[in-house]
Structure 1
C-alpha cells in the first residue's frame, strides 16, 4: 500500500501506482506499507534510487543500515510494533530523505505513524526534512508511552508481590513480569537503533542546511538517550522482581516442607509407643495394669508434645 502526503494537504491520500507513475513536485511524504514489488519499482524509478527490500532491511548489518547513495540518505531502524497486542514484534523501518522528500518503508502497523499522520491533517509540514523530524518525535513519544505503561505495570506487580496474602499463586504475576520484560527489551532495542539513526541523520542535506533542524535533531537524540536509560532501569527492576518472586516462592515451599517435617517428627514418638503396645505378646507388664491404657495414652501425648516444645524453643517454628 502506498500513501502520499502533499504540501498543504490535510492528511494522507491512498494511491495506486503503475509503471507510468511519475512523482509530482508537491509530494512531501511517501509512506510504503508492506509495499508490492510494483510499488517499490515505481518509487525507485521516480526518484532514481534503490530501496532496500524487507529481507535486505532485516539482514543488514548495523553498520550498513545508515548510508548515503545517489544523493539520498537511507536510515534503517528496528522499531517496536504491536506493543498493545499479546505478541509484540520488532520490525525494520527505513526512512529515505531525497530531494526534500521523505520516503518511509514499513511492514507493520505502527501507532507512531498513525499519530503523525493525524497531526499532519491539522498542521501541515513544509518538506520531507521537517516531516522526518516530526515523525521521529512521534516515534520517541510512542516509545515513552510504551515504557511508561510498562513502568506502571511493574510498579503494580511489585506491590502485588510484596503485599500478597500467603498462599496466593504467583503465576499471573510472573506472566505480567515476563510480558513487561519482553516489551521493555524490544523497546530498548528500538531506542538503541533510533539513537544510531538520529546520529547519522545529521549528515542529510535536509538537516545540514538548517541550524534549527540540527538543534531539533540533537534534542531528539537527548530524548532517546533518556528513554534508553529509563528502559535499562525498568529492565533491571523487572529482573529484581523476578528474583524476589522466585525467592518468595522458595521461602513458601520451604515453610511447607518444614511444617510437614515437624508434623512427621512430632507424630513419630506417639506412633512408636502405639506400635509397641499394639504388639500381641503375653508377657507385657502393662497389659494387666489397671492404669495401663491411660498410661499408654499419656506416654503418647508426652512423646508428641516434647519434640514440639523442643522445636519451639530452638526457633524452628
Structure 2
C-alpha cells in the first residue's frame, strides 16, 4: 500500500500504482506499508533511489542500517508493533530523507504512524524534514505510553504478589510479568535503535541547514535517553518481582512439605505400637490382659504427642 501526503491536501491520499504513476511535485511524505515490488520500483524510479527490501532490513547489521546514498539519508530502526495485542512483535522501519521528501517503509501497523497521520490532517507540515521530526516525536510518545502501561501493570502485579491471600495461584501473576518483560525488553531494543537513528539523522541536510530542527532533534535524543533509562528500571523491577514470586512459591512448597513430614513422623510411633500389638503372638501378656486395649490406645497417643511437643520445643513448627 502506498499513501501520499501532499502540501495542498489534509491527510493521506491512498495511491494506486501503475505504469503511469508519477510522484507529485508537492509530496511531503510517502508511506509504503508492506509494499509490493511494483510500488517500491515506482518510488525508486521517481526519486532515483535504491530502497532496501524487507529481507535486507532484517539482515542488516546495526551499523549498516544508517547510511547516505544518492544524496538521500537512509535511517532504519527496529520498532515495537502490536503492543496492545497478545503477541507484540519487533519490526524494521526505514525512513528515507530525499530532497525534502520523507519516505517510510514498514511492514506492520504502527500506532505512532496513525497518530501522526491524524495530526497532519489538522496541522500540515512544511516538508519531509519537519515530517520526519514530527514522526519521531510520535514514535517516542508511543514508546512512552507503552512503557507507562507496563510500569503500571508491574506496580499492580507487585501489590498483588505481596498482598495476595495464601491460596491465590501465582500462574496469572507470572504470566503478566512475563508479558510485561517481553514488551519492555522489546521497547528498550527499539529505543536503543532510535537513539542510533537520531544521532545519525543529524547528518541529513534537512536538519543541518536549520538550527531549530537540530535543536528539535536534540530534544528527541534526550527523550529517548530518558525512556531508555525508564525501560531499564522497569526491566529490573520485573526481574526482582519474578525472583520474589519464585521465592514465595518455594516458601509455600517448603511449608507444605514440612507439614506432611511432621504428620508422617507424628503418626509413625502409633503405627509402630499398632503393628506390635497386631502380631497376635500367644506369649504376648497384654493379649490376655483386660486393660490391654486401653493401654495400647494410650501408648499410641503418647507416642504421637511426644514427637509433636519435641518439634514445637525445637521451633520446627
Same fold by TM (over 0.5)?
Answer: yes
Query: 1:97 — aligned with what?
Result: 97
**Coordinate RMSD, CA, aligned:** 0.8
Query: 2:294 — aligned with what?
Result: 294
Superposed CA deviations along residues 159-202 of structure 1, whole A, max 9, x for unmatched, are 11111111221111111111111111110000000000000000
Query: 1:241 — aligned with what?
Result: 241
Query: Secondary structure at the residue paired with 1:281?
Result: coil
Query: 2:132 — aligned with what?
Result: 132
TM-score normalised to structure 2 length: 0.99
1:1-317 equivalences under 5 Å are: 1-317=1-317
How far residue 119 of structure 1 moved from its aligned partner, in angstroms, is 0.4
- Larger mean CA deviation between 197-206 and 168-177 belongs to 168-177
Task: Note the residue ranges of structure 1 that are not aligned, 5 or more in a row.
Answer: none
Q: Which runs of 4+ in 1 moved over 6 A?
A: none
Task: Note the residue ranges of structure 2 that are not aligned, 5 or more in a row.
Answer: none
Contact 1:19–1:38, Cα closer than 8 Å, also in 2 = no
Distance 1:226 1:124 in 2: 29
Contact 1:81–1:90, Cα closer than 8 Å, also in 2 = yes
How far residue 20 of structure 1 moved from its aligned partner, in angstroms, is 2.9
How far residue 288 of structure 1 moved from its aligned partner, in angstroms, is 2.2
How far residue 17 of structure 1 moved from its aligned partner, in angstroms, is 1.6
Query: Secondary structure at the residue paired with 1:95?
Result: strand
TM-score normalised to structure 1 length: 0.99
Q: How many residues align?
A: 317
Contact 1:30–1:103, Cα closer than 8 Å, also in 2 = yes
Distance 2:156 2:264 in 1: 40
Superposed CA deviations along residues 275-302 of structure 1, whole A, max 9, x for unmatched, are 1111111111212222221111111111
